Structure 1
């Protein structure tokens, strides 16, 4: 996969000969086409159809974010890897094995939350022991016994609540987490969670675009018009080890500051431009961090691991192999 380009300033995105040009304050910044796979527009960016046609031919995906740091939408070039055969099998798998794959996704979330919390437990945060106990034992039983998607989603919700309950032991006191508030986020922690999850979701949209999978046929989340619900499925597993580990690192190492890097109003809180730059750099470094893949016998980035989950899902759909999402513990 090519590189990701982030645009955090207000400006204009145009085609200039055979390059992409971002113009701000009467200055041009050029973005090479050859090694770019996606562009994130984190601020107000104007563009025209001439550029969109150029981006489409280069198979470059463009993601747009709103004022609150949430995902707004994606310019999605025509699907060059579209496969009717895979789509038919994906739809049949949804009918026949939806619950099996949905449980696999929730179990993947559970495993990666455990690995995330174990790091803090081993470093003296014994207060997370109760949550770990639930995640290692009770949640396994609850997930195995769950019947139907509603019950599976209920187990998933409890897994996340157990994770959230540990934040008061993991994070500095000035980053308070009372409950998850999304639209709009109400405090600095929720602002970072929403922004990080939106970036991860958009990354997953790009990853799936580069496979034969159909974005609209999902298993844990309800398939729906107007959103890429399969990206919601596959990104969930990576939230603990990408979004939240990024946040924990920024907060606990004092790389981000409540007073300096956020804009707070009466009913919402957002990262300011400087805060977004710090967060984007941190999450991109985590996405590009490499791990040893035991099966492939080579080092891969976390970004590649997301795409590999797409390939694993295709194998499950086409060859009826067990789908096991990425696990930080197993490295695959």
Structure 2
């Protein structure tokens, strides 16, 4: 199984023979490259071009994060999955069918938020009924009636805001959120959301890299310089399933604690190293958790489900087959 390595400490990452060597505090830690497909650098890491050449030849992707635990950028080997035919078709799909794909993505977000909230409704959190009913009675019609991308994104923004408003029911008081604040996060729940979303975004970058899709041509989010906007599109429907379910479980089971796992400064709040390690472990376990995919009639992971969504999009682009993103309820 392909593995992900996380580097939490400051240090230097180099090549040593046919392995990687991470040096910190005068001590060498060797990382065999066999089976490694991604490395996350979550602190200040020194590297050189010799390392990048070695990493590229072994098809390993490296993600870099800044001091505020936000995503800085990714190094990945030169494209080996290029398909000129698909790129042409992807551009054509953007020009002719962008709004339909965007509506499918936003509908998928709403479906998965509904399922997450319904779980809590069934477990005596009846206060979430207002948002559940709104999704069932108004949300889908609002998506269908949207005539442009701006209107689609307005509905998406509303479903997220309604979801955030239910956190007061789902989470303990010390994890309350007055508003969503990203750069930098200003309280523990915002720190968890920002870190989790960044991890999921980079996982999606790595997933798309292994297909023939072009990272730069997106449908819900505006294609723009300086970011892989298609990764934002693909990751959105998985946020309620992977990021938020992980957060709710860690907080409600008191595995993550405000006083123990966060560094609070004047204008920001971040997970400390122990907190990051706890979250990363739970995040990876969620990605690798297994369920039966009814159409394939076999067991797959959420990581595989993300890749299948990429293939669904390719099917739409190349063969005009309906694009329906992953559904937590349907498991496909």
| Same topology, TM > 0.5 | yes
Normalising by structure 2, what TM-score?
0.99
The DSSP-based 3-state class of the residue aligned with 1:260 is helix
* Aligned residue in 1 for 2:297: 297
The alpha carbon displacement at 1:32 in A equals 2.2
Spell out the pairing of 1:4-19 with structure 2 (5 A cutoff): 4-19=4-19
* Aligned residue in 1 for 2:198: 198
Is 1:111 aligned to residue 116 of structure 2? no
Query: 1: distance between equivalents of 2:95 and 2:79?
Result: 24
The alpha carbon displacement at 1:26 in A equals 2.2
* Aligned residue in 1 for 2:150: 150
The alpha carbon displacement at 1:34 in A equals 2.1
The DSSP-based 3-state class of the residue aligned with 1:30 is strand
Question: How big is the alpha-carbon RMSD for the aligned residues of Structure 1 and Structure 2?
Answer: 0.8
The alpha carbon displacement at 1:275 in A equals 0.8
* Aligned residue in 2 for 1:53: 53
1:206-241 Cα shifts (integer Å, max 9, x gaps): 000000000000000000111100000000110001
Query: 2: distance between equivalents of 1:237 and 1:160?
Result: 11
Spell out the pairing of 1:1-40 with structure 2 (5 A cutoff): 2-40=2-40
The DSSP-based 3-state class of the residue aligned with 2:64 is strand
The alpha carbon displacement at 1:173 in A equals 1.2
The DSSP-based 3-state class of the residue aligned with 1:92 is helix
Is 1:77 aligned to residue 70 of structure 2? no
1:141-191 Cα shifts (integer Å, max 9, x gaps): 111111100000000000101111110000011111111000110100000
The alpha carbon displacement at 1:11 in A equals 1.1
The DSSP-based 3-state class of the residue aligned with 2:258 is coil
Query: 2: distance between equivalents of 1:82 and 1:12?
Result: 32
* Aligned residue in 2 for 1:122: 122
* Aligned residue in 1 for 2:323: 323
* Aligned residue in 1 for 2:210: 210
Query: 2: distance between equivalents of 1:281 and 1:75?
Result: 23
The alpha carbon displacement at 1:117 in A equals 0.6
Normalising by structure 1, what TM-score?
0.99
The alpha carbon displacement at 1:28 in A equals 2.1
1:256-283 Cα shifts (integer Å, max 9, x gaps): 1111111111111111111111111111
Query: 1: distance between equivalents of 2:293 and 2:327?
Result: 11
The alpha carbon displacement at 1:30 in A equals 2.1
Query: 1: distance between equivalents of 2:33 and 2:80?
Result: 17
The DSSP-based 3-state class of the residue aligned with 1:299 is strand
1:126-146 Cα shifts (integer Å, max 9, x gaps): 000000001111111111111
Structure 1 stretches of at least 4 aligned residues deviating more than 3 Å after TM superposition: none
Query: 2: distance between equivalents of 1:174 and 1:221?
Result: 33
The alpha carbon displacement at 1:120 in A equals 0.4
The DSSP-based 3-state class of the residue aligned with 1:259 is helix
* Aligned residue in 1 for 2:167: 167
Q: How many residues align?
A: 332
Query: 1: distance between equivalents of 2:242 and 2:196?
Result: 8
Is 1:66 aligned to residue 66 of structure 2? yes
Query: 1: distance between equivalents of 2:126 and 2:311?
Result: 38
Query: 2: distance between equivalents of 1:22 and 1:291?
Result: 36
Deviates more, 1:126-135 or 1:20-29: 20-29
